[in-house]
Amino acid sequence: MTTLVAPVENDVRRSERSDRIVDLVQRQGALAVLVVVVIIAAAAFPNFRGYDNAGTILIAAAPPALIALGMTFVIITGGIDLSVGSLYVLGGVVSAYASKWGFLPALLVPLALCGLVGVVNGVLIAYTRMAPFIVTLAALLGARGLMRALSNEGSTTYLVGNDGFRSFGTGSFLGIGYPVWLVAVVFVLGMVLLSRTRFGRSVYAVGGSEDAASLMGVAVRRTKVTVYVMSGLLAGLAGAINAAKLGSGVTVLGTGMELDAIAAVVIGGTLLTGGAGTIAGTIAGVLLLGVIQNMINQVGNVPSSYQQVISGAFLAVVVVAQTYLVKLRRRT
Amino acid sequence: MPLLEVTDVNKVFPGVRALDGVTFALQPGEVHALVGENGAGKSTLIKLLTGVYQPDGGELRYRDEPARFATPMDAQRAGISTIYQEVNLVPLMSVAHNLFLGREPRSAFGLVDEKRMVREASEILVRYGVTTDVRRPLGTMALGAQQMVALARAVMVDAKVVIMDEPTSSLEPREVETLFGVIRDLHARGIGIVYVSHRLDELYQICDAVTILRDGKVVHTGRLAELERIRLVSLMLGRDMSAVRREGFTGFAGDHTGAADAPPVLKVTGLSSRHRLHDISFAVRPGEVVGLGGLLGAGRSETIKAIGGAYPVDAGEIEVGGKTLKNPTPVRAVQAGIAVQPEDRKAEGIVAGLSIRENIALAVLPRMARLGLVSDRKIDKIVDTYMTRLRIKASGPDQRVGDLSGGNQQKVLLARLLATQPRVLLLDEPTRGIDVGAKAEVQALIDELAADGLGVVLVSSDAEELVEGADRVVVLRDGAVVGELTGTNVTTEALLETIAAAAVSSEEPHDN
């Protein structure tokens, strides 16, 4: 094509520079806050500075990080997955139960079960166009019920019977627990998947504008099913890791984990309305929540419930800031 | 041999025959204008060509073979690309990603080759006059540039046919020139283009052939250059130029110029909105019906919405009863005494799931509430008054509005507007989609309301309705006033001529 007419004015809206700044704040805001919080914590609490403490923070953050990773994909498509907290607990119980059969079953049985719930979620959401909130709420209740049934109303706690699995949960390499290394590998894969593959682009496209995406030939339904399956699988994996770490399928932890994950994802700069977000941001969000928890533990005499107050405040600030930034971007 | 053709196709929706024996053929390298008023069947035809709908009868042939496109994707893969009126891309994604979505260049391991994609995207877009950093989110670019990206994407898929549905509606004059450059280039490459637009100047500038649809039928097809503008307009609107004006064709009784000397109840001065409205001024006196004439996209609905505070304006003044309406918002406009009947009564007017009573009450609640409470009896009285006065036919005030006929729905809407006790009534297509009998009733009602001293602004695509209903007609084209018909000049012929008159500066883009 050779025709070349007067160039179209592209920049009538805003200078590229201010655009970049908005972009940077949105993408790296959580990281900046994390750095500041870590510096403050390191200055205030001598115990915070230790290498061991870093390991503690990371191992504590490993399961929530996996859940938040799946949630990032789901939220970028414009959806939500409320079932992951329940799946996490269910995964832990099932993993402990299955550990008597060996290492692999302890890992794979929860993955299969939670992945299946993810398939059901995804198919219902993508093919019947039911609201993700409702579908995954139903899955939340269903998974919780299943967990209760398996554990006789929570009265039976299955102990991890496989030594190999147990040592996977408690052992460490270079002072960092094995689960953290596993989570790190999964995150790298997730990053590549989201940012460097066609599937990743379709995740963004579906969340950015579902109608446009389908007109542009994106397999919208397949994309949606895939992200809910991933979310279920990751929640199951998180449960298995937790079971390995604790040595048993604990039935009382994990309630509300889905909300922590959503908080971490949103603090990390992912738009709750879909279409934008990064995994790097989610990591920062998860670590930020973890560091705040750790700091409050350092203070000692503050009830740890206040951690939720502070996390909540952070979330509110981030959401307000995001809304403002988006408005800035879309200003006509 | 036509590139894409449909022969004798029908498309029937419940209660509507959207296409009735339509035959349409697109030759390679041809820019084919598809014109017609709203509801003429253009969109339906486009959707048949692009796999959104399947024809109920007749044949679709593509590249000389019978074809069937089950989905829009099928059509796209076969080489039929569509550019929609509203840009259908993902605003939050980068320009490059939008351009290449689903076709990203890949390196080893199947990963997207970001660098190559950015480079190629820049190279491609330069040819469309887009020189921005392609890594920016698409949504940060001007609409025109976004439209160019959509166009580039459409052509990139090795398209044989490109369908453009009002591509210039969001473009600036300079961008229109760029678009035309691209179209000429596609034309030279033998690609067939279906071009839908209501801007006559554009059609005559860029199109070779034309097909005119009206009421689901093809009323004309042929070379555009051989068709006079005035003839095109009259074919589109279905008004024979030589036809004698039939008295009493509509339900309007006659003129109501009783208050010729009264000060205007609505005065609009210099109303402007970027690209859409240019310096629109007119006045309405109490008891007068002023028509806004023009083709679709001329700015009629925008003008009405702007006066009602629901469309952003850059400049201009709106006076109601001598008082300036500052920073118009819908709430302020209602308080000032402006009532707007929107064009799309289902989407913007009535609440179909609520009863007649509740619909009418919606409007009066704010005005009648004492400490936030309203007595049921008062509402019943008002509802009863309007149901009688507007002759709303229903089983009772508690009938669901969604179950009423179109005409009665329109009356409920009018009742709701009147319950706010407006001084000015802005009516956008008040008789669209309602049957003939109800039409006449609504028209008679408009007459009565004007006789009661309301100032009425009437927008209608029905030339007959406009001419007989209005005392004066202000004619708009491309968002500007191009003429006013008064007195004995208010005739269908004069209206069509004013609409069709070639802009003096049709070669130059109309800047304000």
Number of domains in chain B: 3
Query: Given this model, what pLDDT does residue B186 score?
Result: 87
The reply to whether A118 falls in a domain is yes
pLDDT along chain B (512 residues), means of 10: 88 78 90 83 86 86 87 83 79 89 83 89 85 84 81 83 83 80 88 87 89 88 86 76 41 55 85 84 89 83 87 86 83 86 76 83 71 75 84 82 79 85 87 70 84 88 81 87 84 81 46 40
Compute how many other C-beta atoms are within 10 angstroms of the C-beta atom of residue B378. 13
Q: Side by side, which strands form the sheet with B4-13? A: B16-26, B4-13, B57-62, B65-66
- Domain of residue A293 covers 51-298+305-321
3-state secondary structure of B222: strand
Do the Cβ atoms of A329 and B140 come within 8 Å? yes
Q: Can you give the pLDDT at residue A225?
A: 94
**Pairing relationship of beta strands B277-284 and B266-273 according to DSSP bridges:** antiparallel
What is the per-residue pLDDT for A204?
92
CA closest to A329 among chain B residues: B140
Q: Is residue B246 part of a domain?
A: no
Q: What is the CATH number of the domain that holds B183?
A: 3.40.50.300
ipTM of the complex: 0.77
Element (H, E) at A59: helix A51-76
Q: What is the distance between the alpha carbons of residues B454 and B448, in angstroms, rounded to a whole number?
A: 9
Per-residue pLDDT reduced to its tens digit, B106-147: 887 888 888 899 999 998 888 887 888 888 888 887 777 888
**Are residues B102 and B170 located together in one domain of the fold?**
yes
- Please name the residues between 53 and 82 in chain B that touch chain A, using a CB distance below 8 Å: 72-73, 76, 82
Closest CA to B254 of B226, B288, B205: B288
Of B189, B205, B237, the domain-final residue: B237
Residue of B140, B141, B171 to mutate, interface with A, max A Cβ within 10 Å: B140
A contacts of B90 (beta carbons < 8 Å)? 204-205, 208-209, 212-213, 216, 275
Say whether both B96 and B193 belong to one domain.
Answer: yes
Does B245 reside within a domain? no
Report chain A residues whose CB lies below 8 A from the CB of B181. Answer: 3-5
CA distance A262 to chain B (A): 20
Question: Residue A230: which CATH number?
Answer: 1.10.3470
User: Are B360 and B314 in a shared domain?
Assistant: no
Q: Does residue B271 share a domain with residue B147?
A: no
Q: Please answer yes or no on whether B92 and A276 come within 8 Å at the CB atom.
A: yes
Cα angle value B329/B333/B337 (rounded, 5°): 170
Residues B496 and B361 both lie in one domain: no
Phi, psi of B61 (to 5 degrees): -125, 140
CB pairs under 8 A between A and B: 137
pLDDT of residue A246: 83
- Measuring CA to CA, which residue among B235, B35, B187, B297 is closest to residue B45? B35
Does residue A31 lie in a domain region?
A: no
Contacts of A16 in chain B (CB under 8 A): 132-133, 136
pLDDT of amino acid B509? 43
Same domain? B411 vs B270: no
The total number of structural domains in chain A stands at 1
Residue B201: what pLDDT?
81
B329 and B454 share a domain?
yes
Nearest C-alpha neighbor of A93 from the set A233, A230, A253: A253
* Within a domain: B26: yes
Please indicate, yes or no, if residue A29 is contained in any of the structural domains: no
Decide if B73 and A1 are in contact by the 8 Å CB cutoff: no
Residue B445 lies in a domain: no
**Which one of A8, A9, A215 has the shortest CB-CB distance to B88?**
A215
Q: How far apart are CA B365 and CA B308, in angstroms?
A: 19
Q: Are residues B223 and B369 in the same domain?
A: no
User: What contacts A185, CB < 8 A, 6 or more positions away?
Assistant: none
Look at residue B243 and tell me if it is in a domain.
Answer: no
Closest CA to A266 of A230, A315, A311: A315
Q: Which domain holds residue B75?
A: 4-237
Q: Is B62 domain-assigned?
A: yes
Q: What is the pLDDT of residue B260?
A: 60
| The residue type at B462 | D
H-helix segments, B374-471: 376-389, 406-419, 436-451, 463-469
- Statement to judge: residues B41 and B187 lie in one domain: yes
Same domain (yes/no): B186, B83: yes
Nearest to B139 among A6, A192, A329 (CB): A329
Q: Which two tokens stand for residue A14?
A: 């805003």
- Is B440 among the domain residues? no
Cα Rg of chain A, angstroms: 21
Q: Is residue B332 part of a domain?
A: yes
- Same structural domain for residues B38 and B157? yes
Alpha-helical runs (H) found in B210-299: 229-237
Cα of B73 to nearest chain A Cα, Å? 6
Counting as low any pLDDT under 70, the low residues of chain A are 1-28, 300, 302, 304, 319, 322-323, 325-332
Statement to judge: residues B101 and B194 lie in one domain: yes
- Could B90 and A205 be called an inter-chain contact, meaning their C-beta atoms sit closer than 8 Å? yes
> Which of A4, A10, A206, A322 has the highest number of chain B CBs within 10 A, making it the mutation to test binding with B?
A10
